[in-house]
Structure 1
Amino acid sequence: MQVHSFLHSDTETYTHVLADVQHKLCAIIDPVLDFDAKSGHTATSSVDEVLAFVREQGWELVYIIETHAHADHISAAIHVKETLGGQLVIGQHITEVQKIFKQIFNFDMSFRTDASQFDILTDDGDTLALGDITITAMYVPGHTRADMAYLAADAEKTVVFVGDTLFAPDVGTARCDFPGGDAKMLYHSIQKLLALPEDTIMYLCHDYPSKGRKHCPTTTVAAQKMGNIHVKDGINEAEFVHMRERRDATLSMPRLIIPAVQVNIDAGNFPQPEANGTRYLKVPINALG
């Protein structure tokens, strides 16, 4: 097993490439589309670096895995699929998120809330085969109703892709104030992850390093239990929920939440062009935050 991590500097998001080198098979986890909110322009230069790397290795892309419908960046899954193929994977509870945001954005009846935009829907305990690597889905709601972590194991090691449940120990944990979020759920989801063997490597979806520290894509279960500022050993559910809800009340909405969510719940698809050939996104007024 190999994992290669690529930082999208504008959103501080990590895209990971998980590979069975012997069988030349890989999965791409949480790919990011470049998006300029000021102009509405999209670009693929960042994710194209990931795709070029996969091509250079001669690997076949089997899966494009989304840990959840992100609120801080737009998914590049459609571009990845059109370029290299692969099946698009997300947790089956994405249907709950689709229904919540269909109402917020007042989408018409043509917007599907059955997750049929995706190829594979996973639930807790489901497995995907990637050569000799077994990928096991772990349902970890709280940040959203649909968050999944993915445990990857072969004969040599086990790693876990945690999405937005946990950040580096000096950063803490995901916020829970988006529609459908729940701090109690997040606490119990994190406990599932912290119950993994302490030497398990955790691959982060984001890193927001404190001053003097460089970005890093990984941590370990042991490091989280010892030092996570929000949820290390000794912090109980009530303490965590109080901290999380109090902290969330001070946070502004992510810079890209409005474009990101409405695209990502539709598997990375932008709305169909209107009569003039231009695609448009909606901005709900006074509906978030």
Structure 2
Amino acid sequence: MSTDQALANASQQIDRARSDKGKRPTIAGFFDEATNTITYVVHDPATNEAAIIDSVMDYAPNSGRTSFGSADLVIEYVETNNLKVTWLIETHAHADHISAAPYLQEELGGKLAIGKDIIRVQEVFGKLFNAGTDFERDGSQFDHLFTDGETFRIGELEGIALHVPGHTPADMAFIVGDAAFVGDTIFMPDFGTARADFPGGDARELYQSIRRLLSLPDETRLFLCHDYKAPGRDDYAWETTVKQQREENVHVKDGVTEDEFVAMRTSRDKTLDMPTLIMPSVQVNIRGGRLPEPEENGVSYIKIPVNAV
């Protein structure tokens, strides 16, 4: 499907949802302050079918211990509202938190899905972490790999997947009814946009992906994967609109050229430290949220490449 056709289909879907409340999803956001991540439960009020987007497994970097307090809040919400989970969706292989998708799948069911370019990410990081021949680099750790423009359903709700690379090669945005879940492409207007300096990232691709998203109808609700409270703002926030982003985003509002954005993003990224959890997060998330296979002593290990990143 061409980019223009995918966008046209997404825009038509959003317009239908705007005119028919029955085509709009019910959305609950769960903010994890330790990683500044928002997990979403998106459900169809007509059928109670639901998707969970970008879940979080709790991880203590000082001890290597894992727990599921954040995910259990999601489970409680799903069970309290009698929802049936049909999708567990990752917008990309996160570098700042570990997915809880396998745990949620065991408890709630649903298909685990990500964009098809996860294969490119697996190849890059499989080499970086010397994962060996036992680590499959074909996306088989996931139940479904979305392609650009692919349609899907959550109950009676329409959904469209859009490929939005730049932050990583595999980033996807998911349009459900009149809402877009945009992962790490863009943040609240006062904070700007995602970095593009991870392996496989590209500032020029990121600009093009963001402008693609911002060509959706003005009223499209955008739900973000992170918020860090920009200076001068006291509260966390993670919902905005296409119109607000086009008018106010400090990095990429209307009038900012591609070259200007690339120069800004490249310069800014050089000042940023790597995320605290990048080493455990990437190693686990390219495996679909599963820890590396235990070694002969029964313990799983996270590798730390020295002087390689």
TM interval, shorter chain, is over 0.9
Alignment equivalent of 1:191, drawn from 211, 234, 243: 211
| Cα distance in 2, alignment partners of residues 40 and 67 from structure 1 | 25
- Choose the corresponding residue for 1:245, options 250, 266, 275: 266
Using the TM superposition, give the Cα deviation of residue 278 of structure 1 relative to its aligned residue in structure 2, in angstroms. 1.2
1:25 to partner: Cα distance = 0.5
Q: Distance in 2 between matches of 1:79 and 1:131?
A: 23
Retained in 1: the 8 A contact 2:283–2:292? no
Please state how far the C-alpha of 1:175 moved relative to its aligned partner: 0.2
Residues 112 and 144, structure 2, Cα contact 8 Å, conserved in 1? yes
Q: What SS is found at the alignment partner of 1:286? A: coil
Count of residue correspondences: 284
Q: Which runs of 5+ in 2 are unaligned?
A: 1-24
Give CA-to-partner distance per residue, 1:167-186, whole Å, 9 cap, x none: 00011001000000000000
1 CA distance for matches of 2:149 and 2:278? Answer: 29
Instruction: Please name the residue that 2:175 is paired with.
Output: 151
> Among residues 275, 278, 282, which one is paired with 1:257 in the alignment?
278
- 2:155 alignment counterpart: 131
- 1:209 equivalent to 2:229? Answer yes
SS at match of 2:57: strand
1:227-246 superposed matches below 5 A:
227-246=248-267
Q: 1:21 aligns with which of 41, 45, 51?
A: 45
Matching of residues 258-273 of structure 1 within 5 Å: 258-273=279-294
Cα distance in 2 for partners of 1:97, 1:16 equals 24
Following superposition, which runs of at least 4 residues in structure 1 exceed 4 angstroms of deviation? none
CA root-mean-square deviation: 0.7
Q: Which amino acid aligns with 1:280?
A: Y
% identical equivalent positions: 49
Partners of 1:46 and 1:102 lie apart in 2 by 28
Whole-Å Cα distance in 2 between the matches of residues 128 and 112 of structure 1?
Answer: 26
C-alpha distance in 2 between matches for 1:108 and 1:273:
14
Q: What's the CA shift for 1:213?
A: 2.7
Mapping of residues 1-289 of structure 1, within 5 Å: 1-153=25-177, 158-210=178-230, 211-288=232-309
| Residues 139-163 of structure 1: per-residue CA shift (max 9 Å, x gap) | 000000000000011xxxx010000
TM-score (norm 1): 0.97
What is the letter of the counterpart of residue 218 of structure 2? E
**Structure 1 residue aligned with 2:7:** none
- State the alpha-carbon separation in 2 of the partners of residues 112 and 218 from structure 1: 36
